[in-house]
Structure 1
Amino acid sequence: MSVLRYRWFHRNPTFLLAMPFSSLHSHSHSLPNDAVCLFNRLLQMRHTPSIIEFNKILTPLVKTKHYSIAISLSHQMEFRGIMPDIVTLNILINCYCHLGQMSVAFSVLAKILKRGYKPNTITFTTLIKGLCLNDQVKRALQFHDELLAQGIQLNQVSYGILINGLCKVGQTRAALRLLRQIEGKLVQPNVVMYNTIIDSLCKDKLVSEACDLYSEMVLKRISPTVVTFNALIYGFCIVGQLKEAVGLLNEMVLKNINPIVNTFTILVDGLCKEGKVKEAKNVLAVMMKEGVKPDIFTYNSIMDGYCLVKKVNQAKDEFNSMTQRGVAPDVCSYNIMINGCCKIRMVHDALDLFEEMHSKNLIPDTVTYSCLIDGLCKVGRISCAWELVGKMHDRGQQADVITYNSLLDALCKNHHVDKAIALLERVKDKGIQPDMYTYNIIIDGLCKSGRLKDAQEVFQDLLIKGYRLNVVTYNIMINGLCIEGLSDEALALLSKMEDNGCVSDAITYETIIRVLFRKNENDKAQKLLHEMIARGLLKSEVK
């Protein structure tokens, strides 16, 4: 501040109180400095302003997440003899909650009581929210129960936060029980509470229950919002009920609830994941006709859909189209295109896209490198893949289990199983945990290299360590036994896998049936064929 301005402020102290405090919100990057300057000016005034004026400075600081500065200023106030009121102390509680200092937040509650102030709903709701934010939902519920026992009433916001906290930690049933507990007794449930539970049920794929709750809220004359429909449409999409999802979109329009970009994108993404790109394009056309502009997520979903059905050229058209419409591709867009190209062995095109990212100052992430490394491995350019791993490390991107799985797979397929096993040990030493796909690669590599005994040792070690083996792992091991003509051992493993709760599939049966026919054990083969038919697994003749 210039000397002239400084003098002007001190000659006109009443100007400070006339200043619009909302101006602190206008430039968030300069807010902390502006707030501190204004705070200091208030302290230097001949007649110290009321606490209300100081609270007006603290509030925007908290809204813009400058919690430590707000705490520091409040401490300075007390040091200067300016006593906080209930609003100040509520602001302080909020700051400590967001900083994860819940014990200090509760000590401020004790301070409120000690000073004879009466804590209000904002005080208690802030503490409940703080507990939920800091993964202490159980403690939040206990605190709620303690408040009720003392005859303290909470409001819709308080219960909305509690219900959201329960849903966030996967306790949807507990959230629903809380809704039942409060309705008609404590507070009236609102659309926010219903939306939160509906959304959580849909994410848990309990779409039927979510629909029942939706019907209930409509019967209670609680009007659904675009959030309600977005949750339900997403739920129907992830369980593959796309017809119902489209039906909900139509229902929205009939209820005069305008779909937003997120609504259309959820539906587009759902259709694309099922390979229904043509239908997704129709939704995109409707979206644009309604004046809703597709965003980066919409275009990424369409491109991913095309890549999924191996129509990479159409995905490229969408990639170019979004750029022409003013939507800049992001790292995810390039990852989708690079992965799509690699899946159909257009690795040269993928590498061109990789270079294009650099020219546009987009930083490739672990997914980008992993897709490229996998593509290079698939076309046998393993040395190039290793070079890329080096570049990845040099540029600060850490390889993950997916990256290394591609390299392990390439080594095994090129009969370098010992090198693959050595790499696996190095991966473990880096603190990267192998997944089931990693072990499947190693077991398959050992089996196909004629090292059945080593494969069996790895397989048994996984069982002993309590790994939940899937049908793919069992199929690999059964195939290894069949390669060696050990049909009895293969049948024994089939029986064992089902005892362990792993359901066999068509590949399991076909693998064993082939070796049985090859060994002229036709009766056993016919028996398995009948089992396949009974289970509905026989889709084509076993050759």
Structure 2
Amino acid sequence: MMPRLLQSSSVVVFFNNYLGLFHSQASKLMESRNTQQHQRVKITNVEDALNVFDEMLQRRPLPSIFPFTQVLGQLAMLKHYSTVISLNNQMVVSGIRPDAYTLTIIINCFCHLNQMEFSLSVLGNFFKLGFDVTTYTTLINGFLLKNREAEAAALFNKMMEKGNCKPDVVTFGTLVKGLCLKGTNTAAIQLLKKMEGACKPDVVVYSTIIDSFCKDTLVVDALNLFSEMTSKGIAPDIITYTSFIHGFCKVENWKEAKRLFNEMVENQIINYTSDDFLEMSHEGVVPNMVTYSTLIDGFCKMGKTQDALNLFSQMQACGQLPNIQTYSILLHGL
């Protein structure tokens, strides 16, 4: 049985990314219909959605499912999940039949509302329309949100057994993230090995495990996995390097942390700015005072004093007080 996974904001981020995919695909399908008169409408709030939805329901003949799905997708991305479900019910009563994209959005909304029973009730319609990997992955994440790991594992195994709907890199990545959040790095590595027989792991999957190793101060294990990753031609990204920098800072190996930062800059792996640092924070890589000071020093050496100052301000806003070394770095860099 798969180990218990923790609930995580990363799961919600995953859902939002997938909703963007559904929205985009539905929009493309809609635009490909020359007979479709409805123009794409940008939904910014619930009132916009209600007005557009009501206007479409009043048309004769009724529009196809595509513009309705587009509105529901945008509204779901605004996190108005109950409203999405209510509008979908109105749509069905009016005789408009949902398609696979619509149903996946509805399942996603039920998952966010912690109503997995209703989410599962939607599956009956999918037996008619057919499952795809996105649907399975959405349901797996819904189970994880409810700490129902047994059902998530059963659904994942069902995907592995099916010949026409194998897990993709996102499905594996979601499970890997859950295992790492639980602290079961060994299980995450086992899943990575299993993944290699199904689809090619990407930098996100590797970096997730590397970050987990570094947070547990298992830097040697992280380096070994890093070597494996690069030997397969997968280039590290900002999250990979920052995880290592933070990891070496945790074990008080400041020299190696600084070396990795300089290597990251010299190899032009990224054009490192303060915006990238904010992205790292969103990924759960939370720096301490030493990490901040190391990166501020790197900005100063690159001549990016404004980025160094921005990071210095953010450091204090996040509750990390600078020490004499941090001030010394800034004085020499300005």
Is TM more than 0.5 here?
yes
Q: Which residue of 2 aligns with 1:216?
A: 228
Change (3 A) 1:198 1:79: same
Q: Which residue of 1 aligns with 2:175?
A: 162
Structure 2 letter corresponding to 1:48 = L
Please give the TM-score of this superposition, normalised by the length of structure 1.
Answer: 0.48
- Residues 484-523 of structure 1: CA distance to partner in whole angstroms, max 9, x if unpaired? xxxxxxxxxxxxxxxxxxxxxxxxxxxxxxxxxxxxxxxx
CA distance in structure 2 between the aligned counterparts of 1:280 and 1:210, rounded to whole angstroms: 20
Instruction: After TM superposition, give the deviation of residue 303 of structure 1 in Å.
Output: 6.3
CA contact (8 A) 1:163 1:175 kept: yes
Change (3 A) 1:53 1:118: same
Q: Which residue of 1 aligns with 2:20?
A: none
Q: Which residue of 2 aligns with 1:242?
A: 254
**SS in structure 2 at match of 1:81:** coil
Q: Which residue of 1 aligns with 2:190?
A: 177
Change (3 A) 1:172 1:143: same
Q: Which residue of 1 aligns with 2:16?
A: none
CA contact (8 A) 1:230 1:266 kept: no
Q: Which residue of 2 aligns with 1:53?
A: 67
Q: Which residue of 2 aligns with 1:298?
A: 315
Q: Which residue of 2 aligns with 1:232?
A: 244
Please, which of 285, 289, 300 is the counterpart of residue 285 of structure 1? 300
In the alignment, structure 1 residue 105 sits paired with structure 2 residue 138: no
CA distance in structure 2 between the aligned counterparts of 1:202 and 1:73, rounded to whole angstroms: 45
Q: Which residue of 2 aligns with 1:19?
A: 39
- Residues 152-174 of structure 1: CA distance to partner in whole angstroms, max 9, x if unpaired? 31111111111112112222221
Please, which of 279, 282, 290 is the counterpart of residue 270 of structure 1? 290
Change (3 A) 1:73 1:301: closer
Change (3 A) 1:164 1:268: closer
Q: Which residue of 2 aligns with 1:37?
A: 51
CA contact (8 A) 2:49 2:71 kept: yes
Q: Which residue of 1 aligns with 2:21?
A: none
Q: Which residue of 2 aligns with 1:120?
A: 132
CA contact (8 A) 1:133 1:165 kept: no
Instruction: After TM superposition, give the deviation of residue 76 of structure 1 in Å.
Output: 0.6
CA distance in structure 2 between the aligned counterparts of 1:248 and 1:233, rounded to whole angstroms: 7
CA distance in structure 1 between the aligned counterparts of 2:50 and 2:166, rounded to whole angstroms: 37
Identity, in percent, stands at 35
CA distance in structure 2 between the aligned counterparts of 1:286 and 1:134, rounded to whole angstroms: 47
Q: Which residue of 2 aligns with 1:148?
A: 160
Q: Is the radius of gyration larger for structure 1 or structure 2?
A: 1
Change (3 A) 1:267 1:159: closer
**SS in structure 2 at match of 1:19:** coil
Change (3 A) 1:18 1:204: same
**SS in structure 2 at match of 1:305:** coil
Q: Which residue of 2 aligns with 1:79?
A: 93
Change (3 A) 1:288 1:71: farther
- Residues 141-198 of structure 1: CA distance to partner in whole angstroms, max 9, x if unpaired? 2320122233331111111111112112222221111001110x21111111101111
Task: Structure 2: state its 5+ residue gaps.
Answer: 1-35
CA distance in structure 2 between the aligned counterparts of 1:41 and 1:162, rounded to whole angstroms: 41
In the alignment, structure 1 residue 197 sits paired with structure 2 residue 217: no
Change (3 A) 1:118 1:141: same
Instruction: After TM superposition, give the deviation of residue 124 of structure 1 in Å.
Output: 0.4
CA contact (8 A) 1:246 1:267 kept: no
CA distance in structure 2 between the aligned counterparts of 1:54 and 1:271, rounded to whole angstroms: 47
Structure 2 letter corresponding to 1:155 = D
CA distance in structure 1 between the aligned counterparts of 2:134 and 2:79, rounded to whole angstroms: 18
Instruction: After TM superposition, give the deviation of residue 267 of structure 1 in Å.
Output: 7.3
CA distance in structure 2 between the aligned counterparts of 1:61 and 1:302, rounded to whole angstroms: 35
Structure scoring higher RCO (CA < 8 A, sep ≥ 6) equals: 2
CA distance in structure 1 between the aligned counterparts of 2:198 and 2:296, rounded to whole angstroms: 48
CA distance in structure 1 between the aligned counterparts of 2:126 and 2:248, rounded to whole angstroms: 48
CA contact (8 A) 2:299 2:305 kept: no
Q: Superposition pairs for residues 353-368 of structure 1, below 5 Å?
A: none
Change (3 A) 1:241 1:135: farther
**SS in structure 2 at match of 1:304:** coil
RMSD: 3.0
CA contact (8 A) 2:261 2:295 kept: no
Please give the TM-score of this superposition, normalised by the length of structure 2.
Answer: 0.76
Instruction: After TM superposition, give the deviation of residue 33 of structure 1 in Å.
Output: 0.6
CA contact (8 A) 1:93 1:108 kept: yes
CA distance in structure 2 between the aligned counterparts of 1:44 and 1:78, rounded to whole angstroms: 14
Q: Which residue of 2 aligns with 1:445?
A: none
Q: Superposition pairs for residues 296-335 of structure 1, below 5 Å?
A: 296-300=313-317, 304-306=321-323
